[in-house]
Structure 1
Amino acid sequence: MTRLNIKDLLLAPRLDRQQVAGLLSPYGFRDPPKADANLQAMADDPSERELLADILEDLLICVSQSADPDQALNYFERFARAALNKTRLFSYLKDSPRMLEILARTLGGSPYMAEILIRDPHHFYWLTDPQVIYSGRKKREIQRELARTLKVLVDEQQQLDYLRVLKRREMLHIGVRDLLRLCSVEETLAALSILAEALISATYWICSSALRREYGIPRNAFAGFTILAMGKLGGGELNFSSDVDLMYLYATDQEEAGSISASEYFRRLGQKITGGLNEFTGEGYVYRVDLRLRPEGKAGNIADSLDGYRRYYQSRMGTWERLALLKTWPVAGDRALGREFLSMVRAFIYDLPFDRGAVEDVRSMKRKIDEQMALRKQRSRNVKLGTGGIREIELIAQSLQVCHGGQNQQLRERNTLRALAALCDRSLISAEENETLTRAYLFLRDVENKLQMVNDAQTHSLPRDHEELTICARLLGYFDDDSGLAAEQFLRQYQYHTGHVNRIFEGIFGVHGPRRFSQPT
């Protein structure tokens, strides 16, 4: 009996199910008949089929090394169908084996990124340019590209849709580089933050220009409004599918714009910016906006004056707000006003003592989180809020910063990893604790990004389904080997890191922990 070659899948007249399964079984497909159907659908033209047969073995090897081989091949068929010229695509992949690997791992790793490629196949050729794939994008590059295009587009909706299109492409670039380990976790978080800053700034420009055309402008108002980033964006450590925490600030109430007051003008500007970022059109959305960190939360003004913020913080600032304000950073509009705000809140953050009451406030916050996680049965599976998760690391860093930052200005860091390093330099955490928390933070942020890049969904929970957990583990670089199944290896590492984080957290906030918060006399 003639031994079958892998090319026979495409070139032999007809193979039975057993023969197909025999050829495809080495490549890890859960559903070989479906995989074969995808292959058969990729090329009808004889010349295209010959080209596909030439790369078939390399394609199947690359697909087998992706997080989900079945998904990768299914999306490859759809991508090939969407490509304007299959001959060009297959020839390019034949001449560029590395680009075949990039494509297969992307398609097998993230339906979100796969759909971007299928929607805009030309992005693949842009992405796989060595000057693009092997280097991160600088903020000024993105800003220049935005400025050039926005000047040409005159319609507000077209301008906002352009931001959505550019975001899609840039998220593909960041996601693929992260997936292929072409950059560190820190670089991924920074790239996501840089992109968000550029797009929020562009949205501000579009919306403020439109509002000026409608109402005119209060005297000095163009130099009197700023967008403040909070949370992960404020710290320059945004995750893959994150809301952006924003606050809107204007300089004064003592101006008018035509028939409306300055406060009404800036309220409308805040609403317009929020809508421009939030709105979902045929091109997607820019960012989901969360304004709940502003004074009074959902009940507060969407935008407020510098004096309004000052009055609130003087009378009603809570411990959680002191921690949250550590990460505040102006990302659009009048940066001088933003710096004035930072100078103003610095006193509220650091001048009040971080006493036993403040420590108990943090404990209370954590107890409430733990209760919520227990109700949802998420304490051991939520990367962000679960036991030993990201939030515990943030609470350690932020609490010690607020407590000791009044005397030590070098502790006033927005970024969590830089804050941990500064705390270590001042002997407020040990070198061992710093290393443990840093390694755990990078691991957990990597897990969080991989969970979210699958479907561009804001999830923080490990999958309960074993198959989905295995795909997550493979995304993170774990594969079945002598040390165990991929999912088991990943869970061991997850439990190792979260266990160590929780021990440090309990040590700092437990019975003997408050000595860490004692002030030097």
Structure 2
Amino acid sequence: MLKAQAHELAKRFGVPIGASGAPQDLLIVGMGKLGGRELNVSSDIDLVFLYDEDGETRPTAIYPDARRSLTIQEFYERLARRLIPALNDIEGPGFVFRVDMRLRPNGDSGPIVCSSDMLETYLYTQGRDWERFAWLKGRVINTPVFSDGETFSRQVNNVMSLVKPFVFRKYLDFGAITSLTKLHEMIRAETTRREIARKGSYVNVKLGRGGIREIEFLTQTLQVIRGGRDSSLRGRETLLMLDALAKEGAISSEVANKLKESYVFLRDVEHAIQYVNDEQTQRLSRHGENLPNVAGLLGIQEEKLWERLEQVNDFVSKTFDSIFQTEKAENKGDWPLGWETGTSTAASALVEKLTSFRVSGRSR
């Protein structure tokens, strides 16, 4: 698809040639689950479109009839406007993938295609802590169209050499780790609030307490902490990185193996949930709804499924809390559940919380 669309554009506008005189290819970076080769049944794909050098299109021996020149950015913006609908739009039997472009520099307000210079400026002047985790998984997923293999590899290396020091700092940034942990705590609390609002009628196997996200967050945080000095911890796949972390002594082999088993189980449950109605969801009902079908797909009784799920959630959450020291904060000093959104049950608890600050002098 990429090659066919690029060749069609090259017939009209020529080949993108950079300042060095070398053909410049589009670099499609797969982020998240795509970058880590961990897609689920109903995943969307997070993409970032890049190119290495600025320049313009020129006629070549293969495309001699090109009559109009474009900048490389203009050329690849046109290509992006062809590629995204081809993957994302529903036609005939369906679509290929849902495409999400919001992880690109400046998100929805940024250009759909960026040069390596633009990426570098963004990462080191505006890049946020959570984007270090996003780019940890980043992987160029396409092959060359206009350049040879050696030139293409050089372009990929140029781009990824900008990303590596952004993700993996030589010296540990404790402030970043703290802010990311707080962000996760907010997500966990909001997910719990929603589950409680539904009277515990379902659990979210991805975002809930002891879910998929906590294993991934734990793994990636330890990678970010240690990866600046240890290249073996710069991988993208969760299971392989748990092994690597155990080998380097960041976690015990016993914990790593149990986390791997838990991750595989939770991902299997996630796949089964999404197979039931082909929906992009991670909610498993406690009774009825999708529970019988999910249990059937996994070949396990409903009661046994919930028993296993609760055991896994308990182990993962306790492991997470022990590493990030969140349990004490949640039990003794956390904000009342639902205070951000003003739930009715949070009002009196919030008054009590604020009063405790005044009494203890923490408001000063």
Fold-level match, TM-score > 0.5? Answer: yes
- Letter of the 2:309 partner, please give it: Y
Cα deviation for residue 278 of structure 1 reads 0.5
Length-normalised TM-score, structure 1: 0.56
* Equivalent residue, structure 2, for 1:218: 16
* Equivalent residue, structure 2, for 1:228: 29
Residues 8-19 of structure 1 mapped to structure 2, 5 A cutoff: none
Match of 1:247 among 44, 48, 51: 48
Contact 1:242 1:288 in 2 (8 A): yes
**Structure 1 stretch 260-269 or stretch 225-234: which is displaced more?**
260-269
Contact 1:411 1:422 in 2 (8 A): yes
- Residue 260 of structure 1 aligns to a residue whose secondary structure is coil
Report the structure, 1 or 2, having the larger strand content: 2
Q: Cα deviation per residue 1:199-252 (whole Å; 9 max; x = unaligned)?
A: xxxx21232123223433322585421101111111111111100111101122
Cα deviation for residue 403 of structure 1 reads 0.7
Could you tell me how far apart the structure 2 residues matched to 1:289 and 1:445 are?
A: 21
* Equivalent residue, structure 2, for 1:271: 81
- Residue 219 of structure 1 aligns to a residue whose secondary structure is strand
Residues 149-188 of structure 1 mapped to structure 2, 5 A cutoff: none
Contact 1:388 1:501 in 2 (8 A): yes
Length-normalised TM-score, structure 2: 0.78
Could you tell me how far apart the structure 2 residues matched to 1:360 and 1:219 are?
A: 44
Match of 2:129 among 319, 333, 337: 319
Unaligned runs of 5+ residues in structure 2 are 59-67, 145-151, 329-364
Match of 1:365 among 183, 186, 194: 183
- Letter of the 1:362 partner, please give it: L
- Residue 6 of structure 2 aligns to a residue whose secondary structure is helix
2:115 aligned with 1:297: no
Could you tell me how far apart the structure 2 residues matched to 1:339 and 1:316 are?
A: 22
Cα deviation for residue 326 of structure 1 reads 1.2
Could you tell me how far apart the structure 1 residues matched to 2:295 and 2:253 are?
A: 29
Report the structure, 1 or 2, having the larger helix content: 1
Unaligned runs of 5+ residues in structure 1 are 1-202, 479-485, 514-521
From the superposition, tell whether residues 242 and 471 of structure 1 become closer, same or farther in structure 2 (CA, over 3 Å).
same
2:301 aligned with 1:503: no
* Equivalent residue, structure 2, for 1:186: none
Residues 125-136 of structure 1 mapped to structure 2, 5 A cutoff: none
2:120 aligned with 1:310: yes
- Residue 179 of structure 2 aligns to a residue whose secondary structure is helix
Hey, which bits of structure 1, 4+ residues long, moved more than 6 A?
Answer: none
Could you tell me how far apart the structure 2 residues matched to 1:487 and 1:227 are?
A: 42
Residues 417-496 of structure 1 mapped to structure 2, 5 A cutoff: 417-478=239-300, 486-496=301-311
* Equivalent residue, structure 2, for 1:404: 226
- Residue 141 of structure 2 aligns to a residue whose secondary structure is strand
* Equivalent residue, structure 1, for 2:356: none
Cα deviation for residue 333 of structure 1 reads 3.8
Contact 2:56 2:70 in 1 (8 A): no
How many residues in Structure 1 have an aligned counterpart in Structure 2? 304
Could you tell me how far apart the structure 2 residues matched to 1:243 and 1:332 are?
A: 17
Structure number with higher relative contact order (C-alpha < 8 Å, ≥ 6 residues apart): 2
Contact 1:329 1:338 in 2 (8 A): no
Could you tell me how far apart the structure 2 residues matched to 1:321 and 1:353 are?
A: 18
Q: Cα deviation per residue 1:379-407 (whole Å; 9 max; x = unaligned)?
A: 86111111111110011110110110111
- Residue 48 of structure 2 aligns to a residue whose secondary structure is strand
- Bigger Rg, structure 1 or 2: 1
- Residue 285 of structure 2 aligns to a residue whose secondary structure is coil
Could you tell me how far apart the structure 2 residues matched to 1:511 and 1:458 are?
A: 29
- Residue 454 of structure 1 aligns to a residue whose secondary structure is helix
- Residue 317 of structure 1 aligns to a residue whose secondary structure is coil
Cα deviation for residue 456 of structure 1 reads 2.6
From the superposition, tell whether residues 222 and 206 of structure 1 become closer, same or farther in structure 2 (CA, over 3 Å).
farther
Could you tell me how far apart the structure 1 residues matched to 2:187 and 2:170 are?
A: 25
Cα RMSD between the aligned structures? 2.1
Cα deviation for residue 511 of structure 1 reads 6.1
**Structure 1 stretch 312-321 or stretch 499-508: which is displaced more?**
312-321
- Letter of the 1:250 partner, please give it: Y
